[in-house]
Structure 1
């Protein structure tokens, strides 16, 4: 009869001598549920090589919410819970007995869990401080995002006809009226069809390549770029997709279509303090994690053979093969212990 395997998870394959540390790339892990010495606690369940103690059960119950804890008021409910825990641990033993701790997928999962825990520990141990001065500086850098006037986004078809050129104005006016009729015949929210109209007929070099899109502009910017007549005409447009025109300016005629509006924004430093503080903390954690990765690479003497990498072929025409094993692990992005993400 084969000897029973110990309840020690050996990764990946060989066991180092007990009197010295495992060799690089190897680990000895005790996977027993509760490290236990006889007489040190009160077992409520025993199975081969392991126990579950009353003290451990009490601790588990205290870690539950009071509402969940109510489920375990009776001995029968507590028995069911302990049996479930014991069955799980016995399945771990069964997996070890079958050598599944040496399975590539198990080793890959173990590595990912290790790296995730290392990252969390490293970030928790890193002193990250965000000062009021840093928050104020960040606010000033982005003030345009926090304080801005109301803006309107329009599309237009423009026909050049300087007001001082009566003949050109007379020729352009009926064309503008015809384009207005075409624009009004389109579904109000079909901005693609209006864009096609602008591409084919607009004579405004800044917006014609953009399907007539004028982007978001404040009242001041709109009047400065296209004339106060446009600003006056836009004031009456409230619903997205509304068409207006022809609007005559000093430069010519505009057929307008409202895409949308953005309300004014006026967020103070105090309004943004918490959000900016968290963002700066996340940025510092990202830098700290990058610095830590560099220090690990130096300490473990990472080198890359650029010539060998250059000789690796990448066949774009080859069919995809079945995986030969788990994908290599990759470095996770740092995250905020408080729950935020950078």
Structure 2
């Protein structure tokens, strides 16, 4: 048992064996330090002890630097006495009935659930086939293969190119708005957004503070005109915050601010195979955990009385009461052993 889990063993009482198994919610646990017969004892106490074989194993699990501390007989004696005294404290805690202390029981329940998760998910990793990885890659290909994209905000003034008078009036206003935009801090996108909300005449983007979202340059040309795409391309070198001049299209005049940029992405299946496999494995873990929880609920006859639950009043006006015991446990999420890298 690892040092971190040893204190949790205080919650488990070794019950006298009987023909029938323990009742639900009760446990029969062997709290002896040495559970296997045989070996050469180097220390012993009532029906238990530390063997030379175990001591060699424990010392072998230490780093070479730490093993330097246990070269003399006295040093090894101190180590073994420490092991024995811990086990004697466990026995004394059980003799005093502390295994039923609410805090100890709550800690043990959390340790049991954690161990169950490792057994159910970590020790039986769901396999992910090459076919599953390839199918996921095809379904999510836009995450791995995409063109260069820009994100713009704009102030648009409607003025068809053929209407010279309207274009002239719109240009005069656009130049004034451009001057206001130049006076703003380059990275103050919110301030430019307020300018767009107040003056832009593009009905799709005006409520969004002029935000055009991320778009490929080709899509930008299709949606707003090639002039806007060319102006956006020119802003890329200066980075987010760069401001265009007044850009004229067939539909009207734009003042553009670059707010984001994504370089082109062209990842092949082999480039992301490991990443996708990890993501699919995580999804399988999540499903397996949900299936286990559902199965446990069905087998236990779990039922929820929504009528009774609705009558439980939650008063947010009263002060916080002193804790009557440990907080109840919650279901952990089946996270992967290692984080999944993003492309």
Q: Report the TM-score, using the length of structure 1 for normalisation.
A: 0.88
The question of whether the paired residues in 2 share the 8 Å contact of 1:9 and 1:29 is answered with no
* Number of aligned residues: 331
CA 1:69–1:341 in structure 2 vs 1: closer, same or farther (change >3 Å)?
farther
Query: Does the 8 Å CA contact 1:240/1:260 hold for their aligned counterparts?
Result: yes
Q: 1:235 to 1:303 in 2, by over 3 A?
A: closer
**Which deviates more from structure 2 when the two are superposed, residues 139-148 or residues 17-26?**
17-26
Over the aligned positions, Cα root-mean-square deviation in angstroms equals: 2.5
Alpha-carbon spacing, 1:10–1:317, altered in 2? closer, same or farther (3 Å): closer
In 1, distance between residues paired with 2:338 and 2:130? 22
The structure-2 alpha-carbon separation of the partners of 1:183 and 1:225, relative to structure 1 and needing over 3 Å to count, comes to same
Aligned match of 2:113 = 115
The answer for the alignment partner of 2:308 in structure 1 is 308
Q: Which aligned pairs between 1:12-91 and structure 2 lie closer than 5 A?
A: 18-35=18-35, 40-47=38-45, 50-91=48-89
Q: Name the residue aligned to 1:133.
A: 131
1:315, CA displacement in angstroms? Answer: 2.1
DSSP-derived class of the 2:328 partner: coil
How far did 1:67 drift? 4.6
Q: Give the equivalent residue in structure 1 for 2:142.
A: 144
8 Å CA contact retained: 2:286, 2:334: yes
Match of 2:258? 258
> Match for residue 288 of structure 1?
288
Q: Which residue of 1 aligns with 2:99?
A: 101
Cα distance in 1, alignment partners of residues 214 and 68 from structure 2: 57
Distance between the aligned counterparts of 1:103 and 1:264, measured in 2?
60
Counterpart CA distance in 2 for 1:233 and 1:44 is: 82
Deviation at 1:129, TM superposition (A): 2.4
Moved over 4 A (4+): 8-12, 14-17, 124-127
- Answer whether contact 1:155 1:256 (CA < 8 A) is retained: yes
How much does 1:152 deviate?
1.0
Cα offset, 1:19, TM superposition: 4.2
TM-superposed deviation, 1:11? 4.9
Q: Structure 1 CA distance, aligned partners of 2:326 and 2:200?
A: 57
Tell me which moved more, 227-236 or 80-89: 80-89
2:168 is matched with 170
Deviation at 1:178, TM superposition (A): 0.7
- What are the ranges of 5 or more consecutive residues in structure 1 without an aligned counterpart? 1-7
2:230 paired residue number = 232
Name the stretch that deviates more: 270-279 or 21-30: 21-30
Contact 1:10 1:27 in 2 (8 A): no
The CA deviation at 1:107 is 0.5
Question: Which blocks of at least 5 consecutive residues in structure 2 are unaligned?
Answer: 1-8
Q: Aligned with 2:29: secondary structure?
A: strand
1:212 aligns with 2:210: yes
Report the Cα distance in structure 1 between the residues aligned to 2:154 and 2:331, rounded to whole angstroms.
Answer: 49
Q: Secondary structure at the match of 1:27?
A: coil
Mapped to 2, the partners of 1:135 and 1:252 lie a distance apart of 47
Partner-residue secondary structure (3-state), 1:30:
coil
After superposition, what is the alpha-carbon deviation per residue over 1:117-170, rounded to whole angstroms, capped at 9, x for unaligned? 122222356572222111111001110010001111111111111111111111
The TM-score, its normalising length taken from structure 2, stands at: 0.87
After superposition, what is the alpha-carbon deviation per residue over 1:235-266, rounded to whole angstroms, capped at 9, x for unaligned?
22222211111111111111111112111111
